[in-house]
Amino acid sequence: MGAGVGTGTAAVCQLLRLGGVTAAYLDHASTTALRPEALDALVAQAARGAGNPSSLHSAGRRARVVVEESREALAAALGARAGEVVWTSGGTESDNLALTGLLRARRDADPVRRRVLLAATEHHAVLDCVEHLQAREGVEVTWLPVDGTGLLDLAALEAALVGDDVALVSLMWANNEVGTVQPVARAAELAHAAGVPLHTDAVQAVGHLPVDFAASGADLLSLSAHKFGGPVGTGALLVKRGTSLVPLQHGGGQELGVRSGTLDAAGAAASAAALTAAVADLPTEARRLAGLRDRLLAGLTQVPGAVVRGARPGAGRLPGNAHVTFAGCEGDSLTYLLDAAGVECSTGSACQAGVPQPSHVLLAMGLDAEEAAGALRFSLGWNSTDADVDAALAAIGPAVERARRARSSRTDRSRRRPRSLAGGVS
Ligand code: PLP
């Protein structure tokens, strides 16, 4: 059995190393392939058979050992204590648990504290959760400004912390669309000086940048395994000791009652293996990916009308992120044309792809809807190669030309149409 599993795993790993079945996958920020270490751990644990980590019998205790060893490994890779790790189903759940759980706990302790401070460039898992709490639970929101690269205005944060009604600051570690890295440690210092905790959505940072939970000063940190080579459906919320959360799920009382639900030993083992490997590779991988990314950006900006968005390449930007707007194009059309040419990338946040609206991140950075319409995000990951960059650079020029022609003929047609028929789509 073991040998059979091993052979199968090796074959899949080989496929993953070769970049899977597609020609050029440049959408790793959306989700990345399982790392071989994660696949091995996943298969090994699944092959061990049943065993609920909460059961008292031997199979349950064996599964519990796997969960706890994985918890320790995950914590060690992130400068956290094992007791600070709460397993979840991924980034969205971690963000919702952090924000809702903490805001409810703060409200219960002091009804006046119901304001959350955040920038409009946060991921929808944060934005929509906060907007829901605003509509349903009387949470107040202060939107903090960012500059043209997406960087938070720290002076505005400091000014907003003056009121005594602030319950929480939420600041993402790195932006999923434009890759801008935020000053989380400084923001945590400012928040703490005002007696306010800070949550950081580090879904795009973990495994890609050095992340030290204790050193960051954050009280809550969200992560998701499928962004660093672990399986989809496993994530974690790091909760600093002494931070109170009201649970969102009620049931078996797992994870000290904070997150009920049967623990996924295979998912935990695979996530810990992926993160351990990603963190060990980080210094060399960050350099390698930044090199590929910079070559990609240099080639993309040869296309007339192409503008790089987000922070300048360097410590302030995710090493695998290349974000460019192409004037006179629709990002969606470009994505389809590139896909037809064997290049897979995104218009921005994958969770929004298909929704024909300008990116809220680009609008918050000061772009107008027309500039934001032509946005493309290319994101590199652990199995990206020079050949992926070559494929993107070969395809981009013709794709932009076709997308521009298609857009201008659409515009001409709608101008020629009688006024009463021209509208219809907002
Ligand atoms: N936060 C950020 C910054 C993300 O990029 C994503 C996914 O794209 C999420 C949260 C949601 O994570 P998950 O897909 O694990 O629910």
276, 297, 325 - which closes a domain:
276
Q: What is the pLDDT of residue 127?
A: 97
Q: What is the pLDDT of residue 320?
A: 98
Separation of CA 125 and ligand 1 centre (Å): 7
269 and 288 together in one domain: no
pLDDT at 421 over 50: no
With the most atoms of ligand 1 within 8 angstroms of its CB, the residue from 227, 323, 377 to mutate is: 227
Q: Give the count of alpha carbons within 13 A of 68, CB side only.
A: 11
Average pLDDT, the chain: 91
311 and 185 together in one domain: no
* CATH assignment of the domain containing 310: 3.90.1150.10
In a domain, 13, yes or no: no
Sheet of strand 140-144, all strands in order from the earlier edge strand to the far edge: 85-88, 235-239, 220-224, 198-201, 166-170, 115-119, 140-144
Residue whose CA is at the smallest distance from ligand 1 atom 12? 91
Separation of CA 350 and ligand 1 centre (Å): 9
Residues with CB under 6 A from ligand 1: 90-92, 95, 123, 125, 172, 176, 201, 203-204, 224, 235, 350-351
In a domain, 421, yes or no: no
In a domain, 8, yes or no: no
Average pLDDT value for residue range 389-406: 96
What is the percent of the chain with per-residue pLDDT over 90, rounded to a whole number?
86
Separation of CA 203 and ligand 1 centre (Å): 6
pLDDT at 386 over 90: yes
**Per-residue pLDDT reduced to its tens digit, 92-147:** 999 999 999 999 999 999 999 999 999 999 999 999 999 999 999 999 999 999 99
Average pLDDT value for residue range 85-89: 98
Residue in 211, 275, 204, 291 with CA at minimum distance from that of residue 35? 275
Least confident of 23-37, 79-93, 153-167, 399-413: 399-413
With the most atoms of ligand 1 within 8 angstroms of its CB, the residue from 203, 223, 232, 352 to mutate is: 203
Residue whose CA is at the smallest distance from ligand 1 atom 13? 91
Torsion-angle region of 250 (φ positive above 0: left; ψ -120 to 50: alpha; else: beta): beta
C-alpha dihedral sign at 395, 340, 376, 314: negative
Q: What is the pLDDT of residue 23?
A: 82
Separation of CA 138 and ligand 1 centre (Å): 25
pLDDT band at 408 (very low <50, low <70, confident <90, very high): confident
Separation of CA 92 and ligand 1 centre (Å): 6
292 and 268 together in one domain: no
271 and 291 together in one domain: no
Q: 344 to each of 26, 100, 404, how far by Cα in Å?
A: 5, 35, 19
Least confident of 21-35, 66-80, 88-102: 21-35
Domain span including residue 250: 38-276
251 and 286 together in one domain: no
Q: What is the pLDDT of residue 179?
A: 98
Query: Which ligand 1 atom is nearest residue 93's CA?
Result: 16
Q: How far apart are CA 313 and CA 298, in angstroms?
A: 11
Residue whose CA is at the smallest distance from ligand 1 atom 10? 91
| DSSP structure class, residue 35 | P
State the amino acid at position 301 in one-letter form: T
217 and 300 together in one domain: no
254, 276, 298 - which closes a domain:
276
**Per-residue pLDDT reduced to its tens digit, 4-13:** 334 445 555 4
pLDDT band at 371 (very low <50, low <70, confident <90, very high): very high
Q: How far apart are CA 335 and CA 343, in angstroms?
A: 8
Residue whose CA is at the smallest distance from ligand 1 atom 5? 176
260, 276, 292 - which closes a domain:
276
219 and 314 together in one domain: no
pLDDT at 327 over 80: yes
Average pLDDT value for residue range 365-375: 95
**Per-residue pLDDT reduced to its tens digit, 187-228:** 999 999 999 999 999 999 999 999 999 999 999 999 999 999
pLDDT at 3 over 80: no
With the most atoms of ligand 1 within 8 angstroms of its CB, the residue from 176, 178, 182 to mutate is: 176
Query: Which ligand 1 atom is nearest residue 174's CA?
Result: 3
Which residue in 13, 329, 345, 351 is the catalytic one? 351
118 and 66 together in one domain: yes
351 counts as catalytic: yes
200 and 69 together in one domain: yes
Average pLDDT value for residue range 325-342: 95
Q: How many distinct structural domains can be found in the chain?
A: 2
Q: Six-digit token pair at 68? A: 């706890």
Q: Which residue has the higher pLDDT, 342 or 407?
A: 342
**Per-residue pLDDT reduced to its tens digit, 284-324:** 999 999 999 999 999 999 999 999 999 998 889 999 999 99
Separation of CA 222 and ligand 1 centre (Å): 9
In a domain, 28, yes or no: no
State the amino acid at position 417 in one-letter form: R
Beta strands in 283-384, from DSSP E residues, in sequence order? 306-308, 321-326, 343-344, 375-379
